Chain A
Amino acid sequence: MEGTINLSEVNRTFFEEVIKSYMGRTLPYCYQCGTCSSSCPVAEEMDIKPHEMVEMIKLGLKDTLAHCKAIWQCSTCYMCTERCPQGVKLTDIILSIRDIALSERIVVSKSVEESCKNLYDTGRLIALSRFQMEKRSKLKLPRVPTIDTEPIKGMANETRVADILKVR
């Protein structure tokens, strides 16, 4: 994180946007102890450390945060959430920043798009290959049936998943 804050970048609604969501609701309780960053297995590689992310949301630095590498380096191991003395669910908050960054098209993630597409088309995140199917039948493992994707398509169209896929 840069030492100086560019105030022209401040987004005054960002904080509200995050805390009004189910995933971001615990954010206000953070008191910057840094337990999250010292527990995080990838913090030393991150351009913005976990505790800094929280402060940046409070400061309204939406653009910097939505563009940073760190939100995609989170391994979702939930160590920060488990250890937070204030009950801040930081993993969920990071996931909600990803959500904002993706749905506002600030960033594009090919891999998330592919997961959404597979889910939409097959009901599974990763479709089973023919090789895997054959292997299963050789091992006499039960056949993997196709999934009724109608409910999934419906849900996707009601949520931001459809925006990612541009199918609405």
Chain B
Amino acid sequence: MARMPQYDLSARNILRKLDVEIIDMSDAPCCGPAPIKSVDYRMASALSAQVLAMTEKRGLDTIATLCPECFSSFMKVNIGFEEDVEFKKEVNHLLSSMAGLNYEGGVKVKHLLQVIHDDVGLKKLSKEHIIKKFKGLKAAVHPGCHFTRSSTSYYPVDPEDPRMLDELVEELGIESVYWPLKLWCCGAPILAFDRDLSCKLGGKKLKSAKASGADCMVTLCPYCQMQFDYYQSIIEKKLDERFALPVVLFTQLLGLCMGLSPEEVGLNMNRVSADTILDFIE
């Protein structure tokens, strides 16, 4: 997660405290997200398959991502390989002839939230690692798209009511408010094609969160984080409306509750000041 240092930093510091060893896949290529899928799905899928094959080659059976788009790209290769033999053949042909690798499927794909929520476990987290909690803080939880959709039988959360992030946030003493546009896209993927529409969508979400009484928004995706935090001032200008809504990554909130300092979770790197949330820590 090279381009969002506060996500990288907070995730590493949390995992260190949780005694989880990190094996970096930083020499792996891009996962082949939407812009590449817009040109050639075989190339996009072969890139994902290459990352999964490289994971296997290191003797690992699971890959964890910070980014839901990577998560989704990998999942879609796994699902496609299981459901469509021709697709698997096509992708592997490209992969073996160009990268000298072969991927049969089966590498487990997880988002970091699953590692924390399921593998470490909320109970253990609460008992052994959370040393302080928030009190009275209300958050609009933004589960995002690519960790949530689409393939109900394969994805780890209910696409119509994804609760995993809410459950973690609630464990930290934060109230997850109901907000009507919770499941909607942040608008970041269309920034390059239609800036006005991207801002409009982002603005609708920020407005909905704010109107629902949230003191902050919580994300699990670097692109959503970028859209709501980095671009919030641009959205405000475009819509001529002020939100001043802090947007924080779940790793930042968790880190604070595990005793990390605001600097250790990179809170100072958020564009919209998130210092106000610190007043809610007991």
Contacts and interface: CB of A to CB of B under 8 A. Distances in A.
B192 A111 contact: yes
Nearest to B4: A132
A142 interface: yes
A110 to B, nearest CB: 9
A161 B40 contact: yes
A160 B27 contact: no
Interface string A12-24: 0000000001110
A58 interface: no
A115 interface: yes
Given A22-B84, A154-B97, A135 B5 contact: yes
Contacts, number: 164
Contact of B194 (A73, A77, A135, A155): A73
Interface stretch (B29-37, B128-136, B171-179): B29-37
Contacts of A148: 27
A7 interface: no
B117 interface: no
Contacts of B84: 22
Contacts of A168: none
A75 B201 contact: yes
Interface string A123-156: 1111010001001100101101101110110111
Interface in B32-69: 33-43, 46-47, 50
A25 B152 CA distance: 19
A159 B29 contact: no
Nearest to A111: B192
A82 B24 contact: no
Interface residues of A, number: 58
In this complex, the interface size class of chain B, counting residues with CB under 8 Å from chain A, is 35 or more
A59 interface: no
B6 to A, nearest CB: 9
Interface stretch (A27-35, A60-68, A98-106): A98-106
B51 to A, nearest CB: 11
Interface SS of chain A: helix
Nearest to B200: A45
Interface stretch (B107-115, B143-151, B237-245, B254-262): B143-151
Contacts of B197: 42, 45, 73
Nearest to B29: A123
Nearest to A23: B41
A165 B28 CA distance: 22
Contact of A76 (B2, B95, B145): B145
A139 B9 contact: yes
B97 to A, nearest CB: 7
A158 interface: yes
A76 B189 contact: yes
16 contacts: A22-B42, A45-B197, A69-B194, A74-B190, A76-B34, A91-B150, A96-B41, A98-B39, A119-B36, A132-B3, A135-B5, A136-B5, A139-B9, A158-B94, A158-B98, A161-B40
Interface of A: 21-23, 41-42, 45, 69, 72-79, 81-82, 89, 91-92, 95-96, 98-99, 102-103, 109, 111-112, 115-116, 119, 123-126, 128, 132, 135-136, 139, 141-142, 144-145, 147-149, 151-152, 154-156, 158-161, 164
